[in-house]
Amino acid sequence: MSSNKLAQRQIVASIKPLVAGGTSGPEFPGYFAQVSGGEITASVEKVYDGGSTFPEVLCAPPEIGDITLTRHFDRGDARRDHESLKLVRQGVGRLRYDVTVFSLNCDLVEFGTERSYAQALLVGVSEPEGDSSSGAPATFSLTFSISQVSGQTQA
């Protein structure tokens, strides 16, 4: 019997730069290995009419939380991360990307698009950190503010 459950290592993301104000953000080829955020919530207000025991619940439109993508910093191939990270620093708060979160199968081959965030605004860059006593790989993160998520599709 096969399982349809996914391991965390099977959830990855990619980004595609959009032209914003005549400027296109740098490319980051390949996948980001960690995906967090993107929760959808709606605020509510409970209104008690005079003498009511139970409130009427009024809701606000849903909001999507920021999404953060993280991956290991690869300086060896200048096209991969080093040059792109140098360029993206200057575009925080201005550059937009299409962000897509994928599910991979057990062979780590793409088999479904779970979520697509169109025109996500880059709002943060976390630089690779150093520790002279550690052999762990350095990582960097890009954080995006989301306005909407498209429906789920299957490949």
Q: What is the CATH number of the domain that holds 59?
A: 2.30.110.20
Q: Does residue 116 carry a pLDDT above 50?
A: yes
Q: Is position 60 within any domain?
A: yes
Residue 47 lies in a domain: no
Residue 49 resides in a domain: no
Question: Is residue 50 in some structural domain?
Answer: no
The answer to whether residue 46 is domain-embedded is: no
The closest of 15, 3, 22, 149 to 85, measured between CA atoms, is 15
Q: Is the pLDDT of residue 92 over 90?
A: yes
**pTM value?**
0.82
Give the structural domain span for 71: 8-41+55-154
Residue 135 lies in a domain: yes
Q: Name the domain count of the chain.
A: 1
Measured CA distances, 123 to 94, 118, 126, 142 (Å): 8, 15, 10, 8
Instruction: Note the pLDDT of residue 3.
Output: 63
Q: How far apart are the first and last CA of the chain?
A: 23
So what's the pLDDT on residue 86? Answer: 86
pLDDT category at 126 given cuts 50, 70, 90 is very high
Q: Which amino acid is at 80?
A: R
Task: Give the DSSP letter string of 91-140.
Answer: TTTT-EEEEEEEEE-TTS-EEEEEEEEEEEEEEEEEPPP--TT--SPPEE
Q: Is residue 1 part of a domain?
A: no
Residue 61 domain-assigned? yes
Residues 12-18: what's their mean pLDDT? 92
**pLDDT confidence of residue 34:** 94
Q: Is 52 exposed, middle or buried (0-12, 13-18, 19+ CB in 10 A)?
A: exposed
User: Cβ(123)–Cβ(52) under 8 Å?
Assistant: no
